[in-house]
Structure 1
C-alpha cells in the first residue's frame, strides 16, 4: 500500500505543529542537520530516534505507518497490501493489523544480524509482547538480559526501560503485539 516516506511524515507533523528543526532537535537530543537528513529521505531513523521524534511531535510511533488510503477491509489485510517501515541499521517492520485504531496492533519485525533498537533503553506507554519465529532476539527489560530462540515468547509493560537486538548471525523474525 503506497505511503509517504517517514521523513515526509516527520516534516508534515513538524510543520503542522509549527516547530522548527531546532525545536524538535532540542527535544530529541539530535542536531537539526540530522533531522533535515531524515526529512529529506537521505537517512533512516534508528528505532530510539523515531520514538523520541514521535514523542516530541505528540504522536505514537505507529503514526508513521499511517497511509492516506483506508484499509480495503475492516478486519483483514491481504499479504500484498501490508504497510511497511524500515529503520536505520537493518530493522524492518511490517504492519499486520488493518488499522491502528484498535487496542493493539501486530507487526512482523525482521532484524539483520547486529541490528538493534538503539543503545539507549526505551520507555513508552502500553504493553508489548512477541513470538520469535526465526533466529534469536536478545531483549533487555529493566537491565535483565534474555536471549530468545524460535518458539520463545515474551510480554512486558513498555514503560519499563527496554531494548532489543539481534546478536545472532542470521536474520531474526519476530511477530510483535503492541498495545
Structure 2
C-alpha cells in the first residue's frame, strides 16, 4: 500500500465510527489541525500521536499499514521494501525519519517491525512517550538515543531495548544518515 493511503485509511476508520475530528481530538488530546494534516498531508511527527489515534479508533497502529491478510510466514525482501511513513521535524520542514514497514500484511501481529532511515536534523527535537517497548539495532551510521535525562550514542551492531513510556527521542548522532531496524510493541 502506498504511503498516500495511510491518511485515507485513518479517515475511513474515523468515518466508519461516525466520529468527527473534534471527537478524535478530545479522545487523543491532539489538535484538530494536526489530525486534519494527518489525514490530508500525510506527515507524521512521531509514532506517539499515531498510536493515540489508533487507540482512539479502537485499532492497532499496524492496521493503518495493512493491505492484506496472510496465514503464511511474512517475508519482505529488501528489494520490495516500501516507505510507509515519513516523519517530519514539523510542518513544511525536512523529513527526519523514513519508516519502511516489515510487518505489513500480517494482520494479527503484536509487534511493529520497521527498517528506519534517520536523517540528520539541526533542530532540537522534543521527547515523546507512549505505552510499550522498543528494540533498535543500528545498521549504519551513529544513532543518538535520548532516554529520559540520559543520552546514548550507538554505532553499527549496537542495540538498545527500552520502555517507551519514558520520554525519548531517536535521531542521527552526527551529520550523516543512520539506518536502524526497530521493533515496537504496543500493549492492547
- What does residue 6 of structure 2 align with? 6
Give 1:135's match in structure 2, choosing from 131, 134, 141. Answer: 141
Aligned residue for 1:44, secondary structure, equals: coil
Aligned residue for 1:75, secondary structure, equals: coil
Residues 135 and 183 in structure 2, CA contact (< 8 A), matched pair in contact too: yes
What is the root-mean-square deviation of aligned Cα atoms in Å?
2.7
Find the aligned partners of 2:80 and 2:69 in 1 and give their Cα distance.
11
Residue 101 (1) aligns with residue 81 (2): no
Count of equivalent residues: 175
Aligned residue for 1:147, secondary structure, equals: strand
Give 1:112's match in structure 2, choosing from 119, 132, 135. Answer: 119
- What does residue 19 of structure 1 align with? 19
| Displacement after TM superposition at 1:65 (Å) | 1.7
- What does residue 154 of structure 1 align with? 160
| Displacement after TM superposition at 1:55 (Å) | 2.9
| Displacement after TM superposition at 1:59 (Å) | 2.6
Residue 121 (1) aligns with residue 125 (2): no
| Displacement after TM superposition at 1:73 (Å) | 4.7
Residues 13 and 57 in structure 1, CA contact (< 8 A), matched pair in contact too: yes
Residue 85 (1) aligns with residue 91 (2): no
Residues 122 and 161 in structure 1, CA contact (< 8 A), matched pair in contact too: yes
Find the aligned partners of 1:33 and 1:86 in 2 and give their Cα distance.
19
| Displacement after TM superposition at 1:22 (Å) | 0.9
Deviations 1:15-61 (A, max 9, x none): 12221111112333443233223222x24121133233223223332
With structure 2 as the length reference, what TM-score do the two structures score? Answer: 0.77
Ranges in structure 2 where 5+ consecutive residues have no aligned partner: 89-94
Aligned residue for 2:19, secondary structure, equals: coil
**Bigger shift: residues 93-102 or 150-159:** 93-102
Find the aligned partners of 2:14 and 2:122 in 1 and give their Cα distance.
28
Distance 1:160 1:169, change over 3 A: same
Residues 93 and 108 in structure 1, CA contact (< 8 A), matched pair in contact too: yes
With structure 1 as the length reference, what TM-score do the two structures score? Answer: 0.80
- What does residue 76 of structure 1 align with? 75
